[in-house]
Each structure stands twice: as structure tokens, then as C-alpha cells.
Amino acid sequence: MDDNLKEYEKLKAELKKSIATKNKLEDDFERLEQEIYDTETEYFSGNNTTSNTGIAGNRFSYGGNIIKGFDGFNKSHHHSAGHDSHNRGFSNDDRIFSLSSAIFVKQQQQMDDWEVD
């Protein structure tokens, strides 16, 4: 009986530990999802200001990102004004990285349901 109790306590402690690990993992997961989402937003809106290419003005003058492809990347665009809006706009469907998570998709659906209500 005593042994059983000891083992019970031991198992309980292990369980607690596991749950703690699990919680940590879940935190990690959420953090990562958030990070992915933010990075995506930054990337698609073309705001990654890390460009130190020396042609800051040219930042948007080429077409394309990894979703839209780089058609015409090699062409020089002088009419960047009209191109910009077309270039920067992105929909949630473009978020392939975020959308690769089932949980994210579910969240999106919930959001949509909320909005319908």
C-alpha cells in the first residue's frame, strides 16, 4: 500500500512535470505562430526596411515576392507609382506560412463566424 502511494506520488510528480513541459511547448507554439504571422505581414507589405542596398527608393520598383513570383524582376520599372499599390496589396490567402498551421486556419474560421454573427 505504501509502495503504491509512493508510486502514485511519483507518477503525479511526473505528470505535473509533463504538463509543465507541455505548457511551455504550447507557449512556444503560440509565440512561433505569432512570429510567423508578423514576419509574413512585414514581408508582404514590403516593409522590411532591412534593405541596405543603397537604393531605398527602388525598393518597390521591381515586381514580385515569393508568392507572386518574380516575373519581370529583371526588368527595370520606371513607372513604380502605379505598380506599388498593386504590388503591396496582399490578402490573407497569401499567408502560406501561417496557413500551413491547422490551428491558424481554425482561428480564421472562427473569426469569420464571429463576423457573420
Partner 1 sequence: MPTPTNSSSNGTKNRIKDHSPGSPATTPNVAAAGSAGSSAEIAANASRFRHRKISVKQRLKIYRPNDLKSLNQNELQEREMMEIETGMEKNEEKEVHLNRILQKGANLSDESRKREYIPTPKATATWTDFDKFYQGRFKEPSSYIKFSATLEECCGAPYSMDEKDEEFLEGKINAGKEKEDEKLSEDEFEILCSSFESAIHERQPFLSMDPETILSFEELKPTLLKADLLNQQLKQQLGKEIGYKEDQIFTTQLESIDCQSGIRPLSQVIEKFGVQVYEYWKQRKINSSNTEIFPQLRFERPDEKDDSNPYVCFRRRDVRQPRKTRRVDILNSQKLRLLHQELEHAKDMALLVARREKVTLDLLEQNMRIFDQRSNVKRLKRSLGIRGEDEDLVNHKRKRLNVVAQSQMKQNAGAAGAAEAAVSSPASSSTNAVTTSDSSVKRGLKGRILKKNLEHLAKSGQKLTKQQLQQLQAQNLAIASGKHAGHMHAQQVQQAQQAQQALQAQQAQQAQQQQQQEQPQVQQSQQAQQGQSIQSHVYVRLPSSKVPDITLDDVDHLLTNKERNARKFVHDRMEKRKLEDKDLFNLTDDPYNPVFDITLPKDVLPNNSPFSSIASSKYEINRSYYCGNLPAYLNGNTDDITAYNHEGEKLPSNNFKVKKLEVYDPFQTNNEIHSKEYPVKFRKRVGRCGIQYIDRKPNHMEKSVDSVLNQFLDFDAIESQEQNPQETINVYDSKWDEFSRLYDKWQHDSPRNEYGLKVLEEPSRLNQISNETQVIRFGTMLGSKSYEQLRDVTIKYRQEYVARMRQQKLNQKQLQLQQQQQQQIQQEQEQEQELQQQEQEQQQQSQHARSPSLSATSSLSQPSSKMESSPAMPKKVNGISNQHHTKPHQGVPVTQKKSS
Most distant CA pair in the chain: distance in Å?
Answer: 84
DSSP-assigned beta bridge partners for residue 65? 69
For 101, phi then psi, to 5°, come to -105, 125
- Show contacts with partner 1 in window 50-109 (CB under 8 A): 50-51, 53-55, 58, 62, 64-66, 70, 73-74, 76, 97-98, 100-101, 103-104, 107-108
Residue environment code for 23-52, b if the CB has 16+ CB neighbours within 10 A, otherwise e: eeeeeeeeeebeebeeebeebbeeeeeeee
Which residue in 25, 56, 81, 105 binds partner 1 (CB under 8 A)?
A: 25
Q: Does 5 bind partner 1 (CB under 8 A)?
A: yes
For helices 2-44 and 102-116, what crossing angle results, to 10°?
70
Q: Does 26 bind partner 1 (CB under 8 A)?
A: yes
Binding site for partner 1 (CB under 8 A): 1, 4-5, 7-8, 11-12, 14-16, 18-19, 21-22, 25-26, 28-30, 32-43, 45, 47-51, 53-55, 58, 62, 64-66, 70, 73-74, 76, 97-98, 100-101, 103-104, 107-108, 110-111, 114-115, 117
